[in-house]
Amino acid sequence: MSIPELLADASINKATFDKYAGIEGDKTTLTKKELTALLKNEVIGEAPCTEEINGFMHMLDQNGDDRVDYREFVTILASFRQICG
């Protein structure tokens, strides 16, 4: 399954988002490193490859600041559920 399909199935809530967003720096946004950890532990079960992460980060990061805030995250999650669900 692709990351969008896996994410559409995964139950990622605000608490999960916050847990990973708090690993480093700003506690309200995910960096690429935090996003990698979230995907690895909660979604895929193994480390995603750099290409996957870069592509996924690009999808999520709507305002191009290299961080993913919760609003961006849920927006994408909702669209995955529409596409894959």
List of residues contacting Ca ion (CB under 5 A): 61, 63, 65, 67
Burial of 44 (0-12, 13-18, 19+ CB in 10 A): middle
Question: Whose Cβ is closer to Ca ion: residue 38's or residue 45's?
Answer: 38
Q: Compare residues 8 and 68 and give the one whose CB is closer to Ca ion.
A: 68
Q: How far is the CB of 46 from Ca ion (least distance, A)?
A: 25
Residue reference for tokens 């596409």? 83
Q: Residue 61's CB: how many other CB atoms inside 10 A? A: 20
24 or 65: whose CB is closer to Ca ion? 65
